[in-house]
């Protein structure tokens, strides 16, 4: 059958398939590099601005004389970088230490047991995430004021748990649903209690899902701003709230904001780097059943 010139396959004469594959591979690497640069451009801008002199903050020059004056200013009043960093670390790690065990046991219960009302409980837990923080902050403020929990680590941790635990429960439940119940039933046949089977069998297999919930919970707690702004005054002010001090009657101190932002961003990047393999596996396993 005769074919028209438009229907004939295009053949690059003198170019081998190996060369074509090499070109495609390089094009893919170039595309990944371009996307990575676009994603990293805000981080690069923050890192550069953090070490720029004030006169160079609004310039687009990549080459300048770096200075540590912004860091020195950030560790003194009114910014108090080390104190705010310590507050953010204490609140974030206390939140994780309480939220992850509670979320793991609750997610396992929702995945393995049937409760009166069916899925109403799990859906109700998820529905708490639909409430705007503005609605719940007033009763929380009044309650914490009466309990003397304002400007305390305990009050801020409790507030963080109110939205971290439901989120972590749903991430872990999706992963527990992918694990067959036969594995803990086999352990129970060998004489282990359900709690022992959960601890020795289920939890080691669920490490990718737990790591995923941990990194998401850490990011949410570390970046939390609204509750920390309302419920703290001086002693427990966190890094995101400290950014507000960089705005004064003269405008925004962008070099100080960049320096504080660098300390806010760095822990999340480091944490994501070390648990990346669990993070990816947990996302895929929890999403596909």
249 falls within a domain: yes
Do 183 and 262 fall within a single domain? yes
Q: What is the pTM assigned to this prediction?
A: 0.80
What is the reported pLDDT for 287?
Answer: 43
51 and 177 co-located in one domain: no
User: 126 and 240 share a domain?
Assistant: yes
Is 9 within the bounds of a domain?
no
Which DSSP symbol is given to 54?
G
CA 161 – CA 85 distance, rounded (Å): 20
The predicted pLDDT at position 120 comes to 75
- Examine the pLDDT at 68 and tell me if it is beyond 50: yes
126/201 same-domain check: yes
* Residue range(s) defining the domain that contains residue 43: 17-70
pLDDT of residue 153: 94
Residue 5 within a domain? no
Rounded distance between C-alpha atoms, residue 52 and residue 57, angstroms: 6
- The dihedral formed by the CA atoms of 270, 276, 175 and 186, expressed in degrees to the nearest 10: -110
> What pLDDT, in 10s, does the model give residues 197-212?
888 888 888 888 888 8
Number of domains in the chain: 2
Residue 54 and residue 88 in one domain: no
Is there a single domain that holds both residue 189 and residue 257?
yes
Three-class SS state of 155 = helix
243-262 pLDDT, tens digit each: 888 877 777 888 899 999 99
- Do 132 and 21 belong together in one domain? no
What length is written for the chain?
A: 289
Is residue 7 domain-resident? no
Instruction: For residues 21-39, give the mean pLDDT.
Output: 87
**CATH number, position 162:** 1.10.3720.10
Average pLDDT value for residue range 10-18:
60
Q: Looking at the predicted structure, is the pLDDT value of residue 127 above 70?
A: yes
> 83 and 116 in one domain?
yes
Inside any domain, residue 248: yes
Q: What is the pLDDT of residue 152?
A: 92
Quick: pLDDT tens for 34-65: 998 888 888 888 888 899 888 888 877 778 88
- pLDDT tens track for 218-241: 989 999 999 999 999 888 899 999
Phi then psi dihedrals of residue 142, to 5 deg:
-65, -45
Are 125 and 250 found together in one domain? yes
Query: Which of 26, 54, 70 marks a domain boundary?
Result: 70
Looking at the fold, whether 151 and 128 belong to one and the same domain comes out as yes
Q: Where a domain ends, among 70, 93, 114? A: 70
Residue from 281, 74, 33 nearest 178 by CA: 281
Mean per-residue pLDDT over the chain, rounded: 83
Would residue 8 count as lying in a domain? Answer: no
Other C-beta atoms lying within 10 Å of the C-beta of residue 206: 23
Residue 12 lies in a domain: no
Last residue of a domain, one of 42, 70, 98: 70
10 located within any domain:
no
Categorize the per-residue pLDDT at 155 as very low, low, confident or very high, splitting at 50, 70 and 90: very high
Beta strands (DSSP E) in the chain are 247-248, 251-252
Pair 85, 49 in one domain? no
Q: Same structural domain for residues 77 and 66? A: no
């Amino acid at each position: 059958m005769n074919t028209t010139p438009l229907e004939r396959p295009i053949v690059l004469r003198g170019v081998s398939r190996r060369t074509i594959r090499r070109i495609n591979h390089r094009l893919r690497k170039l595309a990944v590099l371009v996307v990575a640069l676009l994603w990293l451009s805000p981080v690069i801008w923050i890192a550069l601005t953090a070490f720029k002199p004030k006169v160079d903050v609004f310039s687009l020059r990549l080459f300048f004389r770096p200075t540590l004056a912004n860091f020195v200013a950030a560790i003194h009043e009114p910014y108090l970088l080390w104190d705010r960093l310590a507050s953010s670390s204490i609140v974030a790690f206390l939140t994780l230490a309480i939220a992850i065990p509670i979320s793991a046991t609750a997610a396992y219960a929702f995945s393995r047991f049937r409760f009166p009302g069916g899925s109403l409980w799990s859906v109700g837990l998820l529905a708490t995430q639909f409430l705007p923080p503005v609605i719940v902050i007033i009763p929380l403020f009044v309650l914490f004021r009466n309990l003397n929990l304002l400007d305390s680590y305990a009050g801020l941790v409790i507030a963080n748990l109110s939205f971290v635990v439901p989120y972590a429960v749903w991430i872990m439940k999706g992963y527990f649903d992918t694990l067959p119940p036969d594995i803990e039933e086999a352990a129970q046949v060998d004489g282990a209690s359900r709690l022992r089977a959960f601890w020795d069998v289920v939890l080691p297999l669920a490490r990718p899902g737990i790591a995923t919930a941990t990194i998401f919970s850490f990011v949410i707690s570390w970046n939390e701003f609204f509750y920390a702004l309302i419920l703290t005054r001086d002693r427990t002010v966190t890094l995101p709230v400290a950014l507000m001090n960089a705005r004064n009657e003269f405008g925004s101190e962008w070099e100080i904001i960049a320096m504080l932002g660098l300390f806010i961003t760095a822990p999340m990047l480091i944490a994501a780097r070390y648990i990346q393999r669990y993070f990816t596996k947990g996302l895929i396993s929890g999403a596909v059943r």
